[in-house]
Amino acid sequence: DGGITQSPKYLFRKEGQNVTLSCEQNLNHDAMYWYRQDPGQGLRLIYYSQIVNDFQKGDIAEGYSVSREKKESFPLTVTSAQKNPTAFYLCASSYPRGSYGYTFGSGTRLTVV
Amino acid sequence: RKEVEQDPGPFNVPEGATVAFNCTYSNSASQSFFWYRQDCRKEPKLLMSVYSSGNEDGRFTAQLNRASQYISLLIRDSKLSDSATYLCVVNIPNTDKLIFGTGTRLQVFP
């Protein structure tokens, strides 16, 4: 079955540490996205990529980095420069123009310890 | 004005009730509209797309009013399992990006 997989489900980060969240899809979607959701809040776009080897900053890119070396994969690194990284991170993918909506992964819950 | 605006609720309704949510959007050139459902601590899932002519899927009916720039979702015969947050979603024209509303929370009680 086609889908989008995020790992790990839970992640704990120490202060000053970089961590990488994995996102893989086998839906043959060109576009991929990373969102952050804080408790009781809406989704905020971190980065998105429309094609391989290309990506753009979203609304809250500071302290994050991404790569898109393969169509199927769009990993997100939360760097030590992100001062408040505790949140629920959601990866999504779509066909061009998002015409059929986005498919989301099940998310990674990141906590700073 | 926010790009997509929803009443946050919560809407507390008894089982069997009919409940309606509205959502307004700011960009008149938007062409794609969706309702998503998000359960607590889970990812959003596509509930239904919204078409100009209106569309129905079982107990759920979605409607679009382009002139007034709002979208509605009607849930008939509410079930306990309908309890969730409902997100209104609108595309940004000429991009791959969708804008998600902050959601309307529904709580169905016995």
Residues of chain B with Cβ-Cβ distance to A48 below 8 Å are 96-97
Q: What is the pLDDT of residue A87?
A: 96
Share of chain B above pLDDT 70, in %: 100
**A43, A74, A95, A110: which to substitute to probe chain B, counting the most B Cβ within 10 Å?**
A43
Nearest by CB: A96 against B87, B96, B100: B96
Residue A99, pLDDT above cutoff 80: no
Q: What is the pLDDT of residue B2?
A: 81
Distance of residue A30 Cα from the nearest chain B Cα, in angstroms: 10
DSSP structural state of residue B60: E
pLDDT, mean of residues B63-80: 96
- Judge whether A45 is closer than 8 Å to chain B, CB to CB: yes
- Judge whether B57 is closer than 8 Å to chain A, CB to CB: no
Q: What is the pLDDT of residue B69?
A: 95
pLDDT in tens, A74-93: 999 999 888 899 999 999 99
User: Which residue shows structure tokens 């899932």?
Assistant: B45
A vs B: CB pairs below 8 A: 53
Residue A1, pLDDT above cutoff 80: no
Burial B90-102 (b: 16+ CB within 10 A, else e): bbbeeebbbbbbb
pLDDT in tens, B18-62: 999 999 999 999 999 999 999 999 999 999 999 888 899 999 999
Please enumerate in sequence order all residues whose Cβ is within 8 A of that of A30, keeping only pairs 6 or more positions apart, or say none: A50, A51, A71, A94, A95, A96
Put simply, the answer to whether B96 touches A103 (Cβ < 8 Å) is no
Put simply, the answer to whether A98 touches B98 (Cβ < 8 Å) is yes
